[in-house]
Chains A and B, each alone.
Chain A
Amino acid sequence: EDQVTQSPEALRLQEGESSSLNCSYTVSGLRGLFWYRQDPGKGPEFLFTLYSAGEEKEKERLKATLTKKESFLHITAPKPEDSATYLCAVTGANSKLTFGKGITLSVRP
């Protein structure tokens, strides 16, 4: 059974304080690892997809990396508008998305 574990559960940062969010996974036949952002009361918004170990993707203050066992979402100099829940998900041989519980990020001005 595919599993995704995200840590920490919640993270509070000062504006400008860089940090990383961790996603550990076990999956049968990884077909893709996905990062989404979810604001309260909204559906997930797609951020990145990574397909193989060593791959990296970047968008504004966010950078996602992938190894064979985990993925990191690095946030550089965050702003209050980066506050949200960040979801990690994997797709394996069963073609279904398996989500972690998410990491709730709060960025204080």
Chain B
Amino acid sequence: GAVVSQHPSRVICKSGTSVKIECRSLDFQATTMFWYRQFPKQSLMLMATSNEGSKATYEQGVEKDKFLINHASLTLSTLTVTSAHPEDSSFYICSARSGGSAKNIQYFGAGTRLSVL
């Protein structure tokens, strides 16, 4: 299967700082990338969808000014959590999909565990 690299795997930061998470598709071009959040023993919740070269589409209830998404190339998307607070602590996971069809498979990164002190 296709490989998606997510970086860093774990980050601990102080309240008020910003954190950037990178997501790269290593062996295919991802026209669409997705960012999810997962709480313990819960399902993955979609935060936003990003297409290369255009603005991200955020799900209802997700603050776009807090969670900045940039999809600068066909292999790289970044999520920046701005002015992080303890309630932002969570497991963030990205995925990448090649092609524009919803039938195409989403391949996931290994996730980033964010802890805000």
Contact = CB atoms under 8 A, between A and B. Distances in A.
Query: Are both chains from one complex?
Result: yes
Interface of A: 31-32, 34, 36, 41-46, 49, 51, 87, 91-92, 95-97, 99-102
Contact of B43 (A46, A49, A95, A99): A99
Contacts of A41: 91, 111, 113
Interface residues of B, number: 24
Given A42-B110, A42-B111, A45-B108, A31 B102 contact: yes
Q: Is the interface of B mostly helix, strand, loop or mixed?
A: strand
A43 B106 CA distance: 12
Nearest to A36: B108
Contacts of A91: 102-103
Q: Is the interface of A mostly helix, strand, loop or mixed?
A: loop
Nearest to B101: A31
25 contacts: A31-B101, A31-B103, A32-B102, A32-B103, A41-B113, A42-B111, A43-B4, A43-B6, A43-B110, A44-B44, A44-B108, A45-B1, A46-B1, A46-B105, A49-B103, A49-B105, A87-B44, A91-B102, A95-B102, A97-B44, A97-B95, A97-B106, A99-B43, A100-B43, A101-B43
